[in-house]
Structure 1
Amino acid sequence: MAVIDRVAGPSEQSSGPGPNYKWIALSNTTLGMLMATINSSIVLIALPDIFRGIGINPLEPGNTSYLLWMIMGFLVVTAVLVVGFGRLGDMYGRVRMYNLGFAVFTVASIFLWLTWQQGDAAALWLIGWRIVQGIGGAFLMANSSAILTDAFPQRQRGLALGINGVAAIAGSFFGLVIGGLLGPIDWKLVFLVSVPFGLFGTVWAYLKLRDTGERRPAKMDWWGNITFAVGLIAVLVGITYGIQPYGTSVMGWGSPTVLTCLIGGVIVLGAFVLIERRVANPLFTLSLFANRRFTLGNVANLLASLGRGGLQFVLIIWLQGIWLPQHGYSFQETPLWAGIYMLPLTVGFLVAAPISGVLCDRYGARWFATGGMLISAVSFLLLEILPINFGYVPFAAILLVNGLGMGLFSSPNRADIMNSLPGDARGAGAGMTATFQNAAMVLSIGFFFSLMIAGLSQNLPSVMKQGLLAHAVPAADASRIANLPPVGVLFAAFLGYNPIQELLGSTVGTLPPDQAAILTGHSFFPELISGPFADGLAAAFWFAVIACVVAAVASWFAGGRSAPSGEHESVGGELAAVSGEVTGMSEVVTDDEVPDRSSSRASAAAVPVAGLADAAAVPRAGHHAAEPAGQNAAADDDRRHAEAGELLGRLQAGSGAVGVDGVVTVTDRNGRQVARTSAVGGEYALHGLPPGTYTAVASAPGFRPAVTAVTLNGVGVVRDFALDGNGLVTGTVTASDGGVPIPEALVIATDARGQVVGRVQAGTDGTFRLAGLPSGATTVAASATDHEPSALTLSVQPGATSVADLVLSSTSGLLAGIVTGPDGAGLAGATVTALSPVGEVVGTVMTDGAGKYSFLGIPAGDYTVVASTFAPVTTSVEVPAGEAAQLDLQMGRPSVSQA
């Protein structure tokens, strides 16, 4: 059972949110997401200043782990914890968890700013508090989307999530510029900049944000949390150390430690999946993956994040290690200017993301999400063909196009994922989505660095050795330096150090001054590395192209189709109303399956009588049983806005989107009945309720009752009930001809009164599962394209599983035969045409060498068949449904036989 509480009253009350609350929620969560994501990247640019400030050279072998964990610590902890914190939000209140995250993040920022140590102690202190900062960021990321989804109606949800998503992704680019500006002034400012915003946001969140969504107290899934954290951390740590050299290998993918982390992590994650399938309150709601929109949306999000994260690192290395030094910038200046020169990427994203958010509310997510990924793929192709020493104008234009593509994708993708979630799973679902996105950032580092290192390792040693020998470096030193792992070169370029100066070390002092100046100047290293770097760059960009194309395909099959332009709410938003209000569904229906919502809306108003056992239900004036299809969106909006003293809503089957008849009873604190009304067609309405706190009970024949508390403070409330039964029906939909499974057949369950109580789409193997059905006689029907519908009636028992295997007969047939000549021999090359009763050509075929022809999959019906070579022959034939008709034609003497 679930209860969905959706609506605020017409004016703000001290105890509840007002009409402007959604904008307060949007502004605060946007500030939180912006702060969290800025801090995920601000350290990347400021790392040289941070390590200089604490007196550590991060390129020394013993300090590489400090470098990696300063980069990865924040990302790893947010990826691991965000889904658990989303689950805590569902259980204890999303705003409460979000507020805690703001406070934790701010406290961690203060302690980072207060760093006073030097050397190893300072590095460990910074890494530790960065992890704590990541914990606060995980609270913010896990619950911000769910808070917005609760606060905004479906018709505005894409805009809200789009703006929030802009902050989430643009923050990672803003962090590069802010870190580059503040780091050279004072490295501690990199952490201090978050403190005033954190303090303001924390106080503002505690004072203004309210939990408006459903809260479901439950036990914490500790085993799930532990196995998920251990498994994911092991995999991410394995990837982190896999890009470091091991023995004589340029990378550590063959290291026993790395293999242990990767294999062991996968095994532990496998155990996590088994645990989640058995616990009552799982950390990961695995059933959400039965929802095609949620699953494919997250696949697209993961791949897009891989491409976006990898692009960020590749561009930093490209600009800092090659392009900027070639154009006169010192290596110390490159971090700041790399952030500045990447601004077109941010501009494109900032322009496209809000616009696509607004448009996807009106026209659906499919075209925008798919188009955005295809545009991004094209931009990666353009970057691939761009010269290493490019002109800035085409480079900026390509970055702008990439930002536009990512922005077009981001808002519709995020809105479509959140709209597909049931109301009580939004926190967990948002956490799962954030996990994929954050894990993708760590994965992108592993993937792209591996591809870059593999490309560099092919040609860099020989090119490096020849270049060093040409400038008076001793052969022994040249060979030693040339054979160093390429990752050191990448890290040096990434951090804005002079790579050759770092590699030569004290050898620089033994060289002639003019040769030393050339080696450590602006041009030598960029020109040296340009060729080998191009090889790694090509591999990295081709990987990004493939990831974007696959994401586009996933987005196409995940996104909703467009709504008519005159409607206020898109089909995606319409589906969100169904999926957000109904829990326990076997599978959330897709947009292509959404029925006409001009369903019965007969409502009944109750006469409140305090202290009486019963109250007569009176039909509400002004409502009728059905509305024209063109008025659905407006009618839904009217129904969602309750006036003072009103309690409105809907009773819905837990596994179906259609309302069920039942009764809603309201009692006061002392258990006395205050009002009672019937829900006709699922709709109910109670009027004239005085302010106070009540208990509302919804019941319907064959369903478990649902109960919730309702507080009226001079405002109306719209509350829907999703009623669950105990029955389960499983089965398979197959074809009559051969028993082949029919994929994606639509299966509907109706009760004895003909009301829909379950709706699901069969899987690719033809199997289906309808859970939460009421007990009693139930009719299960299946339909599919080119097949006759089939149904059977069975008795659903509480707590038992019933099996309903449905066989569908094909509506098409087969017409075949032989065309012979006057001598009775098969006539090759004759033209055979089938015409419908109205004269339309259904098909035309040519006879083979033996005079045989056939029409496969022809619809059942009467046809006129014409065969021609010299003089045409015409006859008629009936093709039965699902059977074969034989029609032999002889030029001049047609004969018909049917079998």
Structure 2
Amino acid sequence: MSAAPRPWLAFSVAGTAIYLTILDLFIVNVAIGAIGSDFAATSAADLSWVLTIYAILFAAVLVPAGRLGDRFGRRRVFSAGLGLFLLGSLLAGIAPGYGVLLVGRAVQAVGAALATPNSLGAVLPMFEQRQRPAVLGVWGMIAASGAASGPPLGGILAQVDWRWIFLVNLPVGLVALVLIARVIRESPAEQGTRTDWVGAATLAAAIAALTLGLAQSESWGWDARVLGAVLVAAVLGALLALRSRRHPDPILEPDLFRRRGFGAAMLGTAAFWGAFAALLLASSLYLTAVRGYDVLEAGLRMAPGPAVSAVAAAVAGRLAGKVPPLRLALAGTAALAAGALVLGITLGDTSSYAWTFLPGSLLAGIGAGTAIPNLLALALVGVPPHRFATGVAIYTVFRQVGSAVGTAAWVAAIGTGSLALAATYRVGWWVVVAGALVALGALVSVAARTMAPEPPPEPATTKENHVRSR
């Protein structure tokens, strides 16, 4: 049984656990080379599945996981998810062969998907309404820090042994797992509802197909397999939309998407995270392939960006409730675009780190820290408390799909150019700028929709007027 409510203590426990799951989305990238050295018989195409299987399963399970938490209790599902994530971390960390490593990554992904929406969904109702904007600000700081600190921290741990990238989760995660039941209250389970398991499976398959096509686009060379995966996702998505209109308790509620500006906000979220993910990939490759830094030194040179991102997110959290989240999201997205623009214009084969890479990455970091918590706040505007976990899950799906699209677009844009030449990256930086501009456009659309007057009620029918006149 949980103790007397201490919301910030509960939040710190949930935030610590979720930092680990977000970190794992980005930390593994820099260790792929070291993993390949240990499993020498594994091809580069096979190694890519260490990243792909996590991306597919994580994105596919998110929304069903959110509905499970809303239906059966968010703390319960959060605990189960964190336990699975730690089990997967252990399997991956001690894997004697490549197959066991993939199994560990799959278990990690399912656990992370169960934990991510239900962690925030469990703790947010413990706060008063006036406190929630600040809570979302700090949560966004955790998300920004986890994403941005993945490459540098992965570089440091990979220098010791790539297995520590997974094993480092265990001591911190186990402490959080023990504390969950003590400090987080269980949410009431829904009564009288029927979970749409067919809809859940359809949604999971659609997202899995889309993520598979995007994640493997480079390996498959944008051939018929990629187009087929995207087509399958589109067909399944259309079937899900039809089912959701008819089912009494759909896995993806149409009412959430009818909220004014919600669709544009989700497009902005996807475009922003696409730009951010491409920026992180480009930065890591530029420092290692062009400038010749080893993984550790490249990680240390990337570290100022995550540091300033955390500070910016903390400041954004303090401003929550005083400045509308849309305005802060617009400012942060503009700063991300400006940072990528600086990098695209100034970086060369021998550019000064202090006068080119550092200013651009700091500006982008400020943008990420400012925008991310407020994009989440926009996603949850008007979401009822009993649907918090589902709302967070939908936001996270758009974040993951956007990241996959941005990464695939960046890889496609640089083509077959040499990664050792700065000129190859120039078009890639413009992809980042373009993604941020798309996000800006979507957020401006949100502003236009939310500031427009509500449509007038439809006039009464002739029959209704006749009845009233009598």
| Aligned 1:699-778 pairs, distance under 5 A | 744-747=454-457
Is residue 304 of structure 1 aligned with residue 272 of structure 2? Answer: yes
Residues 356 and 408, structure 1, Cα contact 8 Å, conserved in 2: yes
Alpha-carbon distance in 1 for matches of 2:21, 2:92: 15
1:536 aligns with one of 421, 424, 427: 427
Residues 377 and 548, structure 1, Cα contact 8 Å, conserved in 2: no
| TM-score normalised according to structure 1 size | 0.49
Is residue 383 of structure 1 aligned with residue 358 of structure 2? Answer: no
- 1:494-551: CA deviations, max 9, x gaps? xxxxxxxxxxxxxxxxxxxxxxxxxxxxxxxx3xx333x0443354234234234324
Is residue 157 of structure 1 aligned with residue 132 of structure 2? Answer: yes
Q: What one-letter code is carried by the residue in structure 1 that aligns with 2:34?
A: D
| Aligned 1:459-858 pairs, distance under 5 A | 460=417, 526=420, 529-531=421-423, 533-554=424-445, 556-557=447-448, 744-747=454-457
Q: Rate the CA distance shift 1:535–1:794 in 2: closer, same or farther, 3 A.
A: farther
Residues 374 and 548, structure 1, Cα contact 8 Å, conserved in 2: no
Task: Say which SS state the counterpart of residue 193 (structure 2) adopts.
Answer: coil
Flag the structure with higher strand content: 1
Is residue 371 of structure 1 aligned with residue 81 of structure 2? Answer: no
Alpha-carbon distance in 2 for matches of 1:536, 1:401: 20
Residues 374 and 552, structure 1, Cα contact 8 Å, conserved in 2: no
The match for 2:368 is 406
Q: What one-letter code is carried by the residue in structure 2 that aligns with 1:184?
A: Q
The match for 2:67 is 87
The match for 1:288 is 256
Is residue 77 of structure 1 aligned with residue 57 of structure 2? Answer: yes
2:281 aligns with one of 291, 313, 316: 313
Task: Say which SS state the counterpart of residue 243 (structure 1) adopts.
Answer: helix
Task: Say which SS state the counterpart of residue 75 (structure 2) adopts.
Answer: helix
Residue 218 of structure 1 and its aligned partner are, at CA, apart by 2.4
Residues 312 and 370, structure 2, Cα contact 8 Å, conserved in 1: yes
In angstroms, what is the RMSD of aligned CA positions? 2.5
The match for 2:17 is 32
Q: Rate the CA distance shift 1:351–1:213 in 2: closer, same or farther, 3 A.
A: farther
Alpha-carbon distance in 2 for matches of 1:363, 1:168: 20
Alpha-carbon distance in 2 for matches of 1:70, 1:192: 16
Alpha-carbon distance in 1 for matches of 2:8, 2:94: 35
Residue 293 of structure 1 and its aligned partner are, at CA, apart by 4.2
Alpha-carbon distance in 2 for matches of 1:795, 1:195: 70
The match for 1:200 is 175
Residue 780 of structure 1 and its aligned partner are, at CA, apart by 7.0
Task: Say which SS state the counterpart of residue 184 (structure 1) adopts.
Answer: helix
Q: Rate the CA distance shift 1:91–1:34 in 2: closer, same or farther, 3 A.
A: same
Residues 29 and 151, structure 2, Cα contact 8 Å, conserved in 1: yes
Residues 369 and 410, structure 1, Cα contact 8 Å, conserved in 2: yes
Runs of 5+ unmatched residues, structure 2: none
Alpha-carbon distance in 1 for matches of 2:343, 2:264: 27
Alpha-carbon distance in 1 for matches of 2:341, 2:466: 57
1:342 aligns with one of 302, 316, 339: 302
Runs of 5+ unmatched residues, structure 1: 1-14, 58-62, 117-121, 246-251, 461-488, 491-525, 559-589, 594-742, 748-767, 769-778, 782-791, 797-899
| Aligned 1:238-277 pairs, distance under 5 A | 238-244=213-219, 252-253=221-222, 255-277=223-245
Residues 451 and 539, structure 1, Cα contact 8 Å, conserved in 2: no
Q: What one-letter code is carried by the residue in structure 1 that aligns with 2:85?
A: F
Alpha-carbon distance in 2 for matches of 1:133, 1:42: 13
Residues 337 and 433, structure 2, Cα contact 8 Å, conserved in 1: no
Residue 16 of structure 1 and its aligned partner are, at CA, apart by 6.5
Q: What one-letter code is carried by the residue in structure 1 that aligns with 2:12?
A: S
Alpha-carbon distance in 2 for matches of 1:284, 1:72: 25
The match for 2:115 is 140
The match for 1:435 is 397
Residue 141 of structure 1 and its aligned partner are, at CA, apart by 1.1
Q: What one-letter code is carried by the residue in structure 2 that aligns with 1:128?
A: V
Q: What one-letter code is carried by the residue in structure 2 that aligns with 1:235?
A: L
Residue 149 of structure 1 and its aligned partner are, at CA, apart by 2.5
Is residue 191 of structure 1 aligned with residue 166 of structure 2? Answer: yes
Q: Rate the CA distance shift 1:424–1:317 in 2: closer, same or farther, 3 A.
A: same
Q: What is the percentage of aligned positions where both structures have the same residue?
A: 23
Q: What one-letter code is carried by the residue in structure 2 that aligns with 1:18?
A: A
Task: Say which SS state the counterpart of residue 363 (structure 1) adopts.
Answer: coil
Residues 53 and 187, structure 1, Cα contact 8 Å, conserved in 2: no
Residue 132 of structure 1 and its aligned partner are, at CA, apart by 0.8
Alpha-carbon distance in 2 for matches of 1:285, 1:433: 14
Q: Rate the CA distance shift 1:794–1:288 in 2: closer, same or farther, 3 A.
A: farther
Residue 257 of structure 1 and its aligned partner are, at CA, apart by 2.1
Is residue 392 of structure 1 aligned with residue 102 of structure 2? Answer: no
Alpha-carbon distance in 2 for matches of 1:214, 1:780: 40
The match for 1:173 is 148
Residue 161 of structure 1 and its aligned partner are, at CA, apart by 1.6
- 1:339-366: CA deviations, max 9, x gaps? 2111222122111112112212123213
Residues 72 and 442, structure 1, Cα contact 8 Å, conserved in 2: no
Is residue 64 of structure 1 aligned with residue 44 of structure 2? Answer: yes
The match for 2:37 is 52
Task: Say which SS state the counterpart of residue 159 (structure 2) adopts.
Answer: coil
Q: What one-letter code is carried by the residue in structure 2 that aligns with 1:257?
A: R
Residues 140 and 369, structure 2, Cα contact 8 Å, conserved in 1: no
The match for 1:718 is none
Q: What one-letter code is carried by the residue in structure 1 that aligns with 2:146?
A: G
- 1:459-503: CA deviations, max 9, x gaps? x4xxxxxxxxxxxxxxxxxxxxxxxxxxxx65xxxxxxxxxxxxx
Is residue 125 of structure 1 aligned with residue 16 of structure 2? Answer: no
Q: Rate the CA distance shift 1:359–1:185 in 2: closer, same or farther, 3 A.
A: same
1:107 aligns with one of 82, 87, 95: 87
> Which one has more relative contact order, counting CA pairs under 8 Å at least 6 apart?
2
Q: Rate the CA distance shift 1:539–1:207 in 2: closer, same or farther, 3 A.
A: same
Q: What one-letter code is carried by the residue in structure 1 that aligns with 2:289?
A: G
Q: How many residues align?
A: 464
Alpha-carbon distance in 1 for matches of 2:300, 2:175: 28
The match for 1:18 is 4
Q: What one-letter code is carried by the residue in structure 2 that aligns with 1:546?
A: L
Alpha-carbon distance in 2 for matches of 1:530, 1:274: 48
Q: What one-letter code is carried by the residue in structure 2 that aligns with 1:416?
A: L
| TM-score normalised according to structure 2 size | 0.92
- 1:15-42: CA deviations, max 9, x gaps? 66635x2112210111111110111122
Q: Which has the larger radius of gyration?
A: 1
Task: Say which SS state the counterpart of residue 186 (structure 2) adopts.
Answer: coil
Q: What one-letter code is carried by the residue in structure 1 that aligns with 2:117?
A: A
1:360 aligns with one of 320, 328, 339: 320
Task: Say which SS state the counterpart of residue 265 (structure 1) adopts.
Answer: helix
Residue 115 of structure 1 and its aligned partner are, at CA, apart by 1.4
- 1:556-599: CA deviations, max 9, x gaps? 347xxxxxxxxxxxxxxxxxxxxxxxxxxxxxxx6x69xxxxxx
Structure 1 stretches of 4+ with a deviation exceeding 3 A read 15-19, 212-217, 554-558, 792-796
